């Protein structure tokens, strides 16, 4: 829809970006007027220059890819296991009874507390970060999948059974299909966690990755570069979140509420 109306959508887009530019102008003004020392708050111009430098040098790209790899690997593994466990919990009372206390207990545990433990077990680097991301992503996926499967209307199950759907088909065509909106909601939450945990793990126990990079620039006092690296993280996280929303919108065109929610966020 917004592709057809090219003119109005450009204006709308400018309208949405304008506050950010305003914010940037205010930032520049605060620095130029010496309200704050540029030692503590580099001007936007300095940050943009630093960002250009980082991007052309390839330093940020390499480290962001390392972080994305860790976050992505943990997210994918955690989501797959989470959907499986959530489905099992919803379909088997026995399994649920055994697993519930473990899920309930670890759900409210701040997952970053496990980073020192994982650092002890797996050393410094990929495995620690991936394990932390995995656990953080696992729990929202379990809880959301469980909720989605449990709330499957009985009518749907009965109708499918009456039409001769086998148990295996029932799983993918009824339960998982019905849980899809919840699973995608869980995925969006898990995505947020995956960045937080990957970056935390890098700050605490890693020699590379964008978290370590930010931390190093902070310790060296090259603050323009630190701000530029943080800005890159914010942009990447924003784009990843939009990607999940886009996929959600595409996958759930059949689902009334999700479609509306998608429209609302995009416009």
Partner 1 sequence: MRRRNRLSQAPWRSIASIIFLLLAWETAARAHLAPPLFLPPFSVVSVQLWQSIADGTLAIDLALSLARAFCGLALGVTAGILLGLLMARVRVVEWLLDPLVALGFPSPKIAFIPIFVLWFGIESLSKILLVAFACIFPVIIGTYSAARSVSRLFLWSAMSLGSNRKSMFLHVILPACYPRIFTTFRIAVPVGLITTFTAEMVAGGGGMGATLIYSQRFFESPTVFAYIVVMLCVGLLLDFAMLRFQSHYLRWAEG
Contacts with partner 1, residue ranges (CB under 8 A): 15-17, 19-20, 22-23, 40-41, 93-94, 97-102, 104-117, 119-121, 191-192, 195-196, 199-200, 203-204, 210-211, 214-215, 217-219, 223, 226-227, 230, 233-234, 237-238, 240-241
Distance CA 247, CA 229 (A): 27
Beta carbon of residue 37, minimum distance to partner 1 (angstroms, whole number)? 11
Residue 79 CA to residue 140 CA, distance in Å, equals 9
CB of 78 closer than 8 Å to CB of 136: yes
- Residue 75, judged by CB atoms within 10 A of its CB (0-12, 13-18, 19+), counts as buried
Q: Closest approach of Cβ 5 to partner 1, in Å? A: 20
Tokens for 251? 């996958």
Distance CA 149, CA 231 (A): 39
Calculate ∠ Cα 195-245-82, nearest 5°: 60
Cβ atoms 105, 49 nearer than 8 A: no
Q: Give me the least distance between CB of 127 and partner 1, in Å please.
A: 14
Nearer to partner 1, 9 or 165 (CB): 9
Nearest C-alpha neighbor of 46 from the set 38, 37, 55: 38
Residue of 143, 141, 146 lying closest to 93 (CA atoms): 146
Give CA–CA dist 248/262, Å, rounded.
8
| Closest CB 92 distance from partner 1, rounded Å | 11
DSSP 114: G
In the complex with partner 1, the residue whose CB is nearer, 40 or 254, is 40
CB of 216 to partner 1, least distance (A): 9
Q: Give me the least distance between CB of 224 and partner 1, in Å please.
A: 12
């Amino acid at each position: 829809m917004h592709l057809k109306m090219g003119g109005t959508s450009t204006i709308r887009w400018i309208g949405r970006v304008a506050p950010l530019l305003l914010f940037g102008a205010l930032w520049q003004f605060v620095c130029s007027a010496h309200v704050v020392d540029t030692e503590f708050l580099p001007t936007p111009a300095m940050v943009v220059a630093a960002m250009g430098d980082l991007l052309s040098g390839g330093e940020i790209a390499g480290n962001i890819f390392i972080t994305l790899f860790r976050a992505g690997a943990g997210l994918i593994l955690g989501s797959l296991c989470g959907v499986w466990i959530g489905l099992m919990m919803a379909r088997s009372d026995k399994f649920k009874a055994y697993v519930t206390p473990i899920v309930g207990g670890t759900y409210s545990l701040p997952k970053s507390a496990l980073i020192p433990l994982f650092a002890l077990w797996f050393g410094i680097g990929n495995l620690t970060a991936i394990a932390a991301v995995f656990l953080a992503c696992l729990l929202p996926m379990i809880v959301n999948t469980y909720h989605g499967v449990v709330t499957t209307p009985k009518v749907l199950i009965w109708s499918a059974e009456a039409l001769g759907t086998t148990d295996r088909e029932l799983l993918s065509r009824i339960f998982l299909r019905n849980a899809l909106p919840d699973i995608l909601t869980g995925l969006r939450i898990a995505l947020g966690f995956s960045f937080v945990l990957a970056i935390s793990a890098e700050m605490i126990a890693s020699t590379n990755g964008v978290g370590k990079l930010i931390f190093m620039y902070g310790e060296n006092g090259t603050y323009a570069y630190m701000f530029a690296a943080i800005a890159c993280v914010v942009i990447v996280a924003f784009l990843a979140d939009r990607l999940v929303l886009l996929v959600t919108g595409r996958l759930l065109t059949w689902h009334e509420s999700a479609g509306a929610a998608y429209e609302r966020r995009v416009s």
